[in-house]
Amino acid sequence: MEEVFRLIFHALIFPGGLFAMIFGLFLMGLDRKLYARLQRRVGPPLHQPFIDVVKLMQKEVLIPRTANQRAFQLAPLIGFAGIMMAVVLIPIAGVYPGLAQSADLLVLLYLLITPALALIIGGSSSSSPFSAVGISREMMLTLFYEIPLLIVLLTVAIKAGHFYTEAATFSLSKITGFQQQTGPLLLDITMLPAFLAFLCCIPGSIGTVPFDIPEAETEIVEGPILEYSGSGLILFKIMGGIKMMVLAALGVTLFFPGSGDGFWLISLAWFLVKCVVLVTVSVTIVRASTGRMRIDQAAKFYLKVPTGLAVVSLLATLYAINGM
Amino acid sequence: MKNALKKIAIQSPWLYRINTGSCNGCDVELATTALIPRFDVERFGCKYCGSPKHADIVLVTGPLTDKMRDKVLHVYHEIPEPKVVVAVGICPISGGVFRDSYAIKEPLDAYIPVDVNVPGCPPRPQAIIDGIVKAVEIWKSKL
Amino acid sequence: MGSYLKTVIQNLLKGPSTDPYPFGKTFEPKGLRGKIRFNSQACVACRTCEHVCAGNAIRIKEAEDKSGLHFVVWHNTCAFCGLCEHYCPTKAIRMTADYHTAHSQAEKYNYVEQGFIKYVPCSCCGKPMIPVAAELLALAYKETANVEFLAQLCERCRPGNRLRKEE
């Protein structure tokens, strides 16, 4: 019985549900504020995304007559549910051990695609030509950033698996444990390219400049989410925030999870700080200093730079383990 | 409770621009108001959104030309309630210097209920900010 | 990206450069053309402003009881081009620096600057006439005439009286 309550607590309050929503929206607010400051503007208050959510709750919900009603209404829920499940899987060192003990990295990889999938379902069911262009771009972009992401995860898995004398370990708690004993992977010179590749994947996955190609406001008027208003839009906005948090948390877990000893509150604060830093570096500063790429430029970039870096890291890891 | 929600909601007016045949002068001023650091409307929680489905405050620039009329009405009806319309520049308000042109049958408020007028050719960014602040007040009473 | 990165970091260190308006004071560039101010004392109803107005914003119309002329500028169609000010011979029209033009829809048709030019009877023939600005007469007659006296005469009586006065 206690086990059930524990699961419900983890799913609804911490780290899933409430905590994820609040922290995700906070990350979005921080991103907007810092973005404004990087452009010498004052910017909105930090709690602006929360205000936006309250505002959107009071707006009328419009559904296009030509849309596939059921798919259109369910799509944001699918994405939201998927990303919420992804949050629960990620362990926080010293605070939360993670939901599953084996192969959760693989499940996470699948769940990370659900927001993109929700965009594709919602966009294609909304019967808007702008959405159609948006989803085709979203599909292409997903293909491009998934390749380096997969190689990075594989590299980390092989590295950690070697420590546990397995071929590869896809357990996030084992990866965390491995780093707590041998030091963070970030300090490992062979893992540095993989870390950079992971940083490159974050903006693509969240869909921010320079990879906001599917939602390009100025050319295809927000693409797949064009037809959403009110509550559907809220779900997509929160989804974006939580995805930001999940990717940051995944990065922290894979590369510098922290020791986890000491008081849990300090561990949690340390984890949050690391997430914020990761988002700042990989999203906000990149967003402020680049312009939007074309989809072919993004393809070239992803297939050259992050994939190249990740492969270098993978080969170096294999070399270190097997000695060629 | 409802009042408290209203008070929170008015801090997030999302702006949507419709160009009904403008010379782009007012559009440049709108872009200036939002984007250049000196007149940052994001301070009030404003955001320019690309889709009419996300908008709260509609900024209309340009005279309502005959060719654009149906399209503008179409987009206007796609904006979810409650919404506030701000006519920016003299053209949507009265036709301005194009008033007696064959391409302009009637000013904007003959077709769309306009709430705030910001005349000027183009208006200064500060005047546009004034207009947005006025529109937010009206929006609050509509929520 | 490198040079932009440098710029954004510099921006972060410099801090925001946003004008505090509408919560604080803002700046006004020199020569700003804002709302029009009309001085009915100086107006001679030459209608040059009405003629040059690009937006057709200026109307000069006789009152129904024929007691004078109504002068109206509707700011909602005024392009603030400044032609009326430029061509006004007596400087009755001035552009102010007031750019706070936002107003609600209810005020749309009242958003005007207006003045009333009251007719005065000619001291010679008694016909109602537009009062003549002393500045304009001084410009026309230089020092050759008693301008205060001529200002009370209509355009018909003025030439003859001017000559008689000089005798």
Kindly state whether residue B136 falls inside one of the protein's structural domains: yes
Helix-helix angle A17-38:A231-255, to 10 degrees: 90
Q: Does A92 touch chain B (CB under 8 A)?
A: no
Q: Does A36 touch chain C (CB under 8 A)?
A: yes
- Residue bearing tokens 């070399």: A319
**Which pair of structure tokens corresponds to residue A80?**
């939201």
- Do residues C143 and C121 make contact, with C-beta atoms less than 8 angstroms apart? no
Tally of domains in chain B: 1
The domain that contains B20 carries what CATH number? Answer: 3.40.50.12280
Q: Does B130 touch chain C (CB under 8 A)?
A: yes
Kindly state whether residue B27 falls inside one of the protein's structural domains: yes
* Cα–Cα dist A280/A300, whole Å: 25
| Residue B127 with chain C: CB contacts under 8 Å | 99-102
* Cα–Cα dist C106/C101, whole Å: 14
In the stretch 34-53 of chain A, residues with CB closer than 8 A to chain B read 36, 39-45, 48, 51-52
* Cα–Cα dist B31/C19, whole Å: 16
Tell me how close the Cα of B13 comes to any Cα of chain C, in angstroms: 16
Kindly state whether residue B33 falls inside one of the protein's structural domains: yes
pLDDT of the residue at B95: 84
Q: What is the mean pLDDT of each run of 10 residues along chain C (167 residues)?
A: 81 82 81 86 84 86 84 87 86 85 84 83 80 74 70 76 56
Output the pTM of the full model.
0.83
Kindly state whether residue B2 falls inside one of the protein's structural domains: no
Q: Does A69 touch chain C (CB under 8 A)?
A: no
* Cβ neighbours of residue A319 closer than 8 Å, sequence gap 6 or more: none
Question: Domain residues for B124?
Answer: 12-142
pLDDT of the residue at C2: 75
Question: What is the DSSP-derived secondary structure letter of residue A280?
Answer: I
By Cβ distance, the residue of C4, C11, C12 closest to A290 is C4
pLDDT of the residue at A268: 85
| Size (chain C), residues | 167
Q: Does A37 touch chain C (CB under 8 A)?
A: yes
* Cα–Cα dist A250/A112, whole Å: 11
Contact B12 A51 (CB under 8 A): yes
| Residue A288 with chain C: CB contacts under 8 Å | 4, 8
Plot region of B106 (φ>0 → left; ψ -120 to 50 → alpha; else → beta): beta
**Which pair of structure tokens corresponds to residue C159?**
């030439």
- Interface partners of chain B (CB pairs < 8 Å, 3 or more) are A, C
Question: What is the DSSP-derived secondary structure letter of residue C107?
Answer: G
- Interface partners of chain A (CB pairs < 8 Å, 3 or more) are B, C
Write out the DSSP string of A147-197. HHHHHHHHHHHHHHHHHTTSS----HHHHHHHHHHH--GGG-GGGHHHHHH
Write out the DSSP string of B32-80. HHHHSGGG-GGGGT-EE-SSGGG-SEEEEES---TTTHHHHHHHHHTSP
**Which pair of structure tokens corresponds to residue A164?**
């546990």
Kindly state whether residue B43 falls inside one of the protein's structural domains: yes
* Cα–Cα dist C128/B43, whole Å: 58
Tell me how close the Cα of A309 comes to any Cα of chain C, in angstroms: 19
Integer angstrom CA distances of residue B135 from A116, B17, B86, B119, B140: 36, 14, 7, 14, 9
By Cβ distance, the residue of B8, B43, B80 closest to A229 is B80
pLDDT of the residue at C57: 86
Contact C11 A39 (CB under 8 A): yes
In the stretch 21-40 of chain B, residues with CB closer than 8 A to chain A read 37, 40
Q: Does B9 touch chain A (CB under 8 A)?
A: yes
Tell me how close the Cα of C28 comes to any Cα of chain A, in angstroms: 20
Task: Give every residue of chain B whose pLDDT is below 50, as ranges.
Answer: none
Tell me how close the Cα of C107 comes to any Cα of chain A, in angstroms: 28
Q: Does B56 touch chain A (CB under 8 A)?
A: yes
Tell me how close the Cα of B55 comes to any Cα of chain A, in angstroms: 9
Write out the DSSP string of C37-102. EE-TTT-----HHHHH-TT--EEEEE-TTSSEEEEEEEGGG-----HHHHH-TT--EEE-S-----
pLDDT of the residue at C167: 43
pLDDT of the residue at C144: 64
| Residue C19 with chain A: CB contacts under 8 Å | none
* Cβ neighbours of residue A134 closer than 8 Å, sequence gap 6 or more: A119, A123, A214, A215, A216, A220, A222, A223, A224, A226
Contact B43 C21 (CB under 8 A): no
Q: Does B94 touch chain C (CB under 8 A)?
A: yes
Tell me how close the Cα of C4 comes to any Cα of chain A, in angstroms: 5
Q: What is the pLDDT of residues B29-59, one digit of tens each?
A: 888 877 778 888 888 888 888 888 888 899 9
Kindly state whether residue B1 falls inside one of the protein's structural domains: no
Kindly state whether residue B109 falls inside one of the protein's structural domains: yes
Pairs across A and C, CB distance < 8 A: 34
Task: Give every residue of chain A whose pLDDT is below 70, as ranges.
Answer: 323-324
Kindly state whether residue B107 falls inside one of the protein's structural domains: yes
